[in-house]
Structure 1
């Protein structure tokens, strides 16, 4: 448990900034938003991407990816049904982890790159879980007052 001595006042001030959580939610899903928009604007490229990773029928996987990336991102940013949006994005990320980053079947530099990407994706899934956990906390715990007790007394 954090105490006043565990956190510098300037850090507590940053963490209590009201816009931090919405900006962080946008940043968390930014890759999905950009990916969904790119796939939507170049559907043939999206289909080719799915086929490249062996996901068939590729057109169906491309449509599913677009829907999940865009709708999941909107739900996380909106702050409603975050569990649904983040859950969909997490499942999509897990599919990508195992299809695009099969480091266990690679060697050398390719293995190194795939291993890094695999665990970066795992970290992203953890971030989606955390944003879901935060979304179910009572609003008072998310407010500026939540960090007031962490700030050192003058």
Structure 2
């Protein structure tokens, strides 16, 4: 069987905030937009229980990454087992995404670059260089960087790089 390039599109399950969340996320990320909205109809109402015309899904793109938001009801909730990573070039980018996504979220869920937004979705906001530092063959450098990282909520790129450098 030939394998073709198949995009992976995350689907985020919300109770009834899919449209609101997609609008919020597209304001946080540059080059983002809502591309389509589908609505519940009378078909399947005995299963979904939604009023016809209520938003079912919102298709959107965050800086080119296609996403879907689904209004599926209160059955499932987000948890930390899945998070979306934002790998940033600069501290300004880290600050931008951290400040906007953490606003109204759960402050207790903030550690080591992780945050939980106001919809309960977990994000990791980190500098791109962290992957290289974490996989360095120099265990001492990595240990110093990790010691600094564990003391942070929002990551400080310069402090991580300084710890890594020694």
- TM-score of the pair, normalised by structure 1: 0.27
- Greater percentage in strand: 2
